[in-house]
Amino acid sequence: MSSILSQKLKVALIQITATAVKQDNLQHAKDYILKALKKDPKIDLVALPECFNSPYAVTEFPKYAENIPNGESTKFLSQVAKENNIILIGGSIPELGDDGKIYNTSVTFDRQGKIIGKHRKVHLFDIDIPGGITFKESITLTGGQKATTIDLPEFGTIGEGICYDVRFPELAAVAAREKNAFALVYPGAFNTVTGPLHWHLLARARAVDNQVYVILVSPSRNLNLGYHAYGHSLVVDPNGNIIAEAGEDEEILIAELDPELITKTRAGIPVTVQRRFDIYGDYTKNVKPSAT
């Protein structure tokens, strides 16, 4: 299986913190996108963090939830993408579905501001680590029902998950094996307990599992908030090497994805053509497709 990344892709990861004021959060995201483009006008794709427009708290999700595509955040991001001629992965926002349920949802826009992808977080963050952290998204959120791949004009296909989704290799494999994605993108708000444990490990594991690029986009860390994000947004190459990493504060991270590295990696260690589905089957053949 060969990569379908057709040319080099320059990405910018926007690591910022959300406040309690949605309009301020939207403007803050735009300001940082403009800073990134001023720093490097050749950026093709910009990615925002999980829950970039609202506080990350189960009690707050219903207050900030809005319709997609008619909500203010979606319209705002669409305009930003169009005005700046970029592909934009809009982190995630609390979405009020037509069914009245609330989802943690990411929307992706092309250079004309058109929605080309929508992912509802599949695996909800329900954990209880004694002496560490207890958090249960399922108190107010509903999990998505589809694996998501997104066709990027000019470049190829990416797979998307949100935060806790990265812990499940099956979802990544669907994108990489069934849809031949060249990268997996995860807006994610790991915290200061789970981050040091598994943030880097999971990103590198998903990259090595599938021999693709992996991108994790975190909010910045603000200890004045109730939820302390880990930070450390990063880009991992198909060999599992971290090629770019942010710190804890607000930051713009820029990296370039090179299709030749995917080809070389898969040629040297050809696991993509060595799997023995005659022994253990291939679950990626029975998956609900993504839908915008």
- Please name which of 1, 125, 140, 129 lies closest in space to residue 60, comparing C-alpha atoms: 140
148 and 173 Cβ atoms separated by less than 8 Å: no
Decide: helix, strand or coil at residue 184: strand
Residues 6 or more apart whose CB falls under 8 angstroms from that of 100 comprise: none
> How far out from the chain centre does Cα 244 lie?
16
CA angle, corner 261, sides to 243 and 174, nearest 5?
A: 90
Provide the residue count of the chain: 292
Q: In this structure, what token pair is assigned to residue 12?
A: 């910018």
Cβ neighbourhood burial of 147 (10 Å; 0-12, 13-18, 19+): buried
Per annotation, catalytic residue among 50, 95, 178, 248: 50
Per annotation, catalytic residue among 60, 121, 137, 179: 121
Per annotation, catalytic residue among 22, 163, 178, 251: 163
**How far is the C-alpha of 38 from the C-alpha of 114, rounded, in Å?**
23
51 catalytically annotated = no
50 catalytically annotated = yes
**How far is the C-alpha of 8 from the C-alpha of 109, rounded, in Å?**
19
179 catalytically annotated = no
**What are the beta bridge partners of residue 93?**
105
Give the catalytic positions in this structure: 50, 121, 163
